[in-house]
Amino acid sequence: MVQRWATGRRFFNAYGPTETTVWATVTQCQPDGRQPTIGRPIINAQIFVLDANLQPVPVGVPGELHIGGVGLARGYVNCPDLTAERFVPNAFSNEPGARLYKTGDLARVLPNGEIDYLGRIDHQVKVRGFRIELGEIESVTAQYAGVREVVVLARSTAPGEARLVAYLVPEKDAAVEVNALRQHLGERLPEYMVPASFVILEALPLTSNGKVDRRALSQLSAVNQQLDSEYVAPRNETEQAIVAIWQEALQIEKVGIDDNFFDLGGHSLLMVSVHNKLKERFKKDLPIADLFKHPTVRRLTACLNEEVKQTSAQSIRDRAKKQKQAAMSKRLMKKNGYGKNVVTQPESART
């Protein structure tokens, strides 16, 4: 909108909850295609990005955004407990009774002093033991060219298991290449924060008050719609067996033989589970390193077939070697007089 209408006009991005009289920060938007920050505090407003102990976090580190100043509300009507929970003492003010409002919003201070909004604290999730801020993933994803809107959810796949799913709305007439987007995220985020699946939508579902309906999103299929490789069905019994194991482990309905295990949401812990099931299914001790080196069903099948060939060839060589050793032993016994008919005395006579 800014790029389209900026000529002769100025656009401002204002942020603030009702508890702080609507606006608390503001920034002028620039027509450069970048997602705007929420800027700096307005006059008579104070902004702090704090950790769980209400201590300031370093520049660039996410924390909860707290607001103070004369615009702060007195609290919630007839809700003293909630007021005490959300309106906390302002340790950074010399005014008696000064308070801060805990917004529940995740933000970070940029090196230039502006505030970068990252999402809601209650959108923090735990995946594979890692605490993850979904808003941080959304912020980095939104920086990719062609992405207009993005929401990231953690979808449960099994008890104690969750996977990240990104729901994208591209810019008009823009095509988002998932592999390129995945690489973009991999260069900027830890591996465990890169979504397992990317779902392309024409628009995000909204609630009656115009906010993103995350519950409706969570009910959509998490099938990875935009894998760059075309779907190729399994062609033989081995590929079918591997596909079935992958589908169960990844909790997805469709796996092609050229789909990459890790692009489908796999990770090292799941790979260990898959390794155990492959050993049980094929009755052979396949090195787990081979699974990492061959992350598609086609390549893994070829690896298994090669292992079988090598095992068969080795068995033939071992059998031939034993036969050769037996023949040599037989010739040696004949040469030394062993194996000829020998007349022996009765045991009573020898005694």
7 and 70 part of one domain:
yes
44 and 89 part of one domain:
yes
Structural tokens at position 174: 């823009």
Indicate whether 202 belongs to any domain.
yes
- Give 305-336 pLDDT, tens digit per residue: 875 555 444 555 666 667 677 767 777 776 66
Q: Burial level of 135, CB count in 10 A (0-12/13-18/19+)?
A: buried
10 and 100 part of one domain:
yes
| Domain containing residue 93: CATH number | 2.30.38.10
Mean pLDDT of all residues in 215-219: 84
86 and 165 part of one domain:
no
Domain's final residue, options 66, 87, 121:
121
Indicate whether 307 belongs to any domain.
yes
Residue at 170: amino acid letter: P
What does the alpha-carbon distance between residue 217 and residue 165 come to, in Å, rounded to a whole number? 10
pLDDT at position 311, please? 47
| Domain containing residue 265: CATH number | 1.10.1200.10
pLDDT at position 337, please? 65
What does the alpha-carbon distance between residue 308 and residue 202 come to, in Å, rounded to a whole number? 48
195 and 260 part of one domain:
no
pLDDT at position 347, please? 53
Domain's final residue, options 103, 121, 139:
121
What does the alpha-carbon distance between residue 29 and residue 175 come to, in Å, rounded to a whole number? 25
Question: Could you tell me the residue range of the domain that residue 318 belongs to?
Answer: 230-335
99 and 132 part of one domain:
no
Residue with the larger pLDDT of the pair 34 and 281: 281
Residue at 132: amino acid letter: I
Indicate whether 340 belongs to any domain.
no
Mean pLDDT of all residues in 1-24: 89
Sheet holding 197-200, edge to edge: 147-158, 161-170, 197-200
User: What count of Cα atoms within 13 Å lies in the side-chain half-sphere of residue 231?
Assistant: 10
139 and 209 part of one domain:
yes
| Domain containing residue 151: CATH number | 3.30.300.30
215 and 271 part of one domain:
no
81 and 58 part of one domain:
yes
DSSP 322: H
Indicate whether 347 belongs to any domain.
no
What does the alpha-carbon distance between residue 317 and residue 309 come to, in Å, rounded to a whole number? 12
Using CA atoms, how far residue 149 sits from 23, 35, 318, 327, in Å, is: 23, 11, 63, 77
191 and 254 part of one domain:
no
Torsion of Cα atoms, 242 then 243 then 244 then 249, to 10°: 90
Indicate whether 299 belongs to any domain.
yes
237 and 269 part of one domain:
yes
Indicate whether 173 belongs to any domain.
yes
Q: Give 292-295 contacts, CB < 8 A, sequence gap 24+.
A: 295/260, 295/261, 295/262, 295/266
Indicate whether 349 belongs to any domain.
no
Domain's final residue, options 62, 94, 121:
121
Would the pLDDT of 160 be above 60? no
Indicate whether 290 belongs to any domain.
yes
87 and 137 part of one domain:
no
- Give 72-94 pLDDT, tens digit per residue: 999 999 999 999 999 999 999 99
Total of domains in the chain: 3
Would the pLDDT of 339 be above 60? no
